[in-house]
Amino acid sequence: MAYDSIHSIMLPVRGDGKGDNVFAHAAALARRFGARVRVVHCHPKTEDMMPYGVVIPTMLRRQIEDAAHANADVTRDQLYGEFEKQARKLGLEIADHELDKPTTRFIEYEGKQVDAVQRYGRLCDLVCVAKPDQKMNLGVNTLKSALFSSGRPVMMCPDQDVTDAGFADHVTIGWNGSLEATRAVAMAMPIISNAKKVTILHTGDSPKDEHPGADQLQRYLELRGVASDIRLFKAEGRNVGRQLLSETRAAGAGMLIIGAYHDSYERESLFGGNSQVVVAEADFPVIMVH
């Protein structure tokens, strides 16, 4: 069994209309690697829907529970029907996984989506999530849970009408020699080694604290049989997140790989760090590792 490959992809979904686009991105990688896509539909537990701190009569509680179960069944059936159509459209067979064969499964999970990410995300090779909608506050906690609780690389997928199946043909690596960037390279190695072209993005500044530079990363990739180019750019200010996006576009790449949230999530969210800018403004898939 090849270890420089992707065998299992986890995709959490709920009835918010963002699942199809993420499924299309996950399916493109599943076809490329012969991987399994586990689509995990999450719906809340009945007790989570009860008003907190309010005493509810038994009869009313029973009515709420019955209504919640009925609504969950309708939503599940609707999503499963859409899942079957999408699977056929995307070339995935609904079946148990076979090595080197792109397959998919639909899993029902009762509970919070962040908990589903922890349960199923830790035993997969990649977690795929939708780009958060900051204004509607949708997907923010899911991305955070995937990054900080799964221990796996996370691919954030932008909302696109059409998904380019070759988005992983040319990838860029945002490299600063940090621990997070090092983990990103290690965990995304199947993507990197399978790409037709790899470009290392670096500010050209001297590595600090003995951090390895772009040329050292290039030599490391050569040892893995991966040829790469180095694209230097001048950092404009302390935040280079926006430049990583623009340099990826200028290089003609379809995906960016970065280490995420060197500072705390809360600090970057509040002050707009590199990772937060990438999350807010990316219009192509980004693989992030904390």
pLDDT tens digits in sequence order for the chain, 290 residues long: 345 799 999 999 977 777 899 999 999 999 999 999 999 998 877 666 556 666 777 777 677 676 666 667 777 788 899 999 999 999 999 998 888 899 999 999 988 889 999 999 999 999 999 999 877 777 889 999 999 999 999 999 998 878 899 999 999 999 999 999 999 999 999 999 999 999 999 998 765 667 899 999 999 999 999 999 999 999 987 779 999 999 999 999 999 999 998 765 555 554 457 889 999 999 999 999 99
Last residue of a domain, one of 108, 134, 157: 157
pLDDT the model gives residue 171: 98
Please count the structural domains in the chain.
Answer: 2
Instruction: Give me the residue label for tokens 């180019």.
Output: 229
Residues 209 and 259 in one domain: yes
pLDDT the model gives residue 75: 78
Range of the structural domain that residue 110 is part of: 8-157
Residues 152 and 29 in one domain: yes
- Looking at residue 190, its amino acid is P
Q: Do strands 229-232 and 197-202 pair parallel, antiparallel, or not at all (unpaired)?
A: parallel
Residues 106 and 194 in one domain: no
Note whether 106 and 80 are within 8 A (CB).
Answer: yes
Burial of 192 (0-12, 13-18, 19+ CB in 10 A): buried
CATH of the domain at 50: 3.40.50.620
Residues 125 and 231 in one domain: no
pLDDT the model gives residue 56: 73
Residues 150 and 174 in one domain: no
Last residue of a domain, one of 157, 180, 210: 157
Residues 143 and 93 in one domain: yes
Residues 109 and 241 in one domain: no
Q: What are phi and psi of 212, to 5 degrees?
A: -65, 145
Q: How far is CA 127 from CA 149, 244, 259, in A?
A: 11, 22, 15
User: Within a domain: residue 119?
Assistant: yes
Residues 18 and 141 in one domain: yes
Tell me, yes or no, if the pTM score tops 0.75: yes
Residues 120 and 41 in one domain: yes
Last residue of a domain, one of 126, 157, 188: 157
DSSP 52: T
